[in-house]
Structure 1
Amino acid sequence: MTQIATFHDLQGKSVYITGGGSGIGASLTDGFLAQGANVTFIGRSDASAFVADMQEKHGRAPLFLQGDITDTDRLQATIKEAAHTFGPVDVLVSNAANDQRHTMAELTPDRWDALLAINLKAYFFAAQAVAPGMQAKGAGSIINFSSVSYMMGNAGYPAYTTANGGITALSRSLARELGPDGVRVNALAPGWVLTEKQLEKWATPKDLAAHLDRQCLKTHLAPRDIVDAVLFLASDASRMMTGQCMVVDGGTVTTG
């Protein structure tokens, strides 16, 4: 990825990313390594090749810990391992999500629970695991990925949009609880970022054109646009920002 901004205070920080081996998550891992941070990430699929690429590019590798974020015990165990390796987590980025399309009629209770486990439950329990270390240091940044999909009132994935609305609410609640200890919690709501997954599954020419028509800026979002925003929220450049939902969508929705 092309590095635009440098945040010197991120050098040496312990960063934990969910889903940091693919899609936007891989770009986040790359971006934090470029800042000199020490990165741990969890993912379900083997990421050995990606780790090797990062080693070659940056001269050091991220710590990859295989696991499923819906397995809370495993999720929290990997956060403990990250702290053991690089020190207590300074920055948590809960990025992993599943935006699988589904209709209201076809959604079963079991599928609802599974989607909420990925898209909301894991966000809370990751934050729960990093909070004591951050509170002890009197500093830390938790960044939870939401989405503009619920702000747009999108149909086609009601469990996903429900979870994203919940992530914004969760972030505001945790910001209030953890703020007295110097810990910041913010949500980041990307627009339609054209990852390989999106291009393969859902980005038809018609839908792309229609979405671009809704944006103020007539350029599709790339992972780099989201990485820069996350680096900002992780750094002391945003030291007085907490309890916010930061939208990066090219001007599709308006907030405030």
Structure 2
Amino acid sequence: MNATDRYATYPSLRGAGVVVSGGATGLGAQFVTEFAAQGARVGFVDVQEDAGRALVEAVAAAGHPRPEFRRADVRDLAGYQEVLRGLAADLGSVGVLVNNAADDTRHASTGVDPAAWDAGFRVNLDHQFFAVQALAPALRAAGGGSVVNLGSISTHVKLRDLVVYRTAKAAVEGLTRALAIELGADAVRVNCVIPGWVMTARQLEHHVDAEAEATLDREQALARRVQPADVARLVLWLAAEDSAACTGQNWIVDGGWM
């Protein structure tokens, strides 16, 4: 049995228009790849142009629908909305939005000035709302759909030097509930996925050391590490019609840490 044969295929995602932010690397790249493997028409944005274009070629070479990539900085809210509207037009329809872009750079709270605070909220919270605002007409025109906002376990556990990131990600949970109520009448579901410590290339390079490994061994219920594909499989289910009655909820993929 191939690895891809072990997991679910969702007919409702075949041909669906999907938009992913921060899709060039890490979790975002996993989402782009997994949606394309389901036969979805995927558009994604990122500031990392070389990585974005390389991912397009890799997905197409694997025999999946060729994704659409646009360079965009989610902190430029007006410019980002313009890019999203253009991407939606190019895809033809949008039924799924995955708000993934984020920056968890560590920092001491003593060094956070107003500009740094605002920048942290732009990249970790604000763009999620303005992406929904930009694409809500497309979701309504498609007859409804699914928005998946990425939160963070850091909001719920004892991690240091992340005060701006943790605060912004806590607000993502409130944003999710507010938008679920507002958009429910249009058959648009809004959910929040809260990953644990996911073993992306960035985390492995910069943050996963012996101390981090010891923390995970002590705190997680499962004796394994959370991988990008673990999170992607939950995102796929929330995007698909299999979760049609689920909205306004937090969904946790952390190996039993919380």
Same fold (TM over 0.5): yes
SS at match of 2:69: strand
Counterpart of 1:161 (choices 156, 159, 166) is 166
Amino acid at match of 1:43: D
SS at match of 1:149: helix
Query: Which residue is 1:144 aligned to?
Result: 149
Indicate whether 1:6 and 2:36 are aligned.
no
| Cα deviation 1:154-199 (Å, max 9, x = unaligned) | 3211000001110000000000000011110000000000101001
Indicate whether 1:212 and 2:221 are aligned.
no
Indicate whether 1:45 and 2:48 are aligned.
yes
Shift in Å, 1:25:
0.5
| Cα distance in 2 between the residues matched to 1:22 and 1:41 | 11
Indicate whether 1:118 and 2:123 are aligned.
yes
Query: Runs of 5+ in structure 2 lacking a partner?
Result: none
| Cα distance in 1 between the residues matched to 2:223 and 2:42 | 33
Q: Is the 8 A contact 1:91 1:142 kept in 2?
A: yes
Taking structure 2 as the reference length, the TM-score comes to 0.95
Query: Runs of 5+ in structure 1 lacking a partner?
Result: none
Give aligned-pair identity as a percent. Answer: 38
| Cα distance in 1 between the residues matched to 2:94 and 2:142 | 10
Shift in Å, 1:212:
2.5
Runs of 4 or more consecutive aligned structure 1 residues displaced over 6 Å after TM superposition: none
CA separation of 1:142/1:204 partners in 2, compared to 1, >3 Å: closer, same or farther?
same
| Cα deviation 1:80-100 (Å, max 9, x = unaligned) | 122211223110000010000
Q: Is the 8 A contact 2:94 2:142 kept in 1?
A: no
Query: Which residue is 2:63 aligned to?
Result: 58
Q: Is the 8 A contact 2:103 2:120 kept in 1?
A: yes
RMSD: 1.3
Query: Which residue is 2:26 aligned to?
Result: 23
Q: Is the 8 A contact 2:39 2:65 kept in 1?
A: no
Taking structure 1 as the reference length, the TM-score comes to 0.96
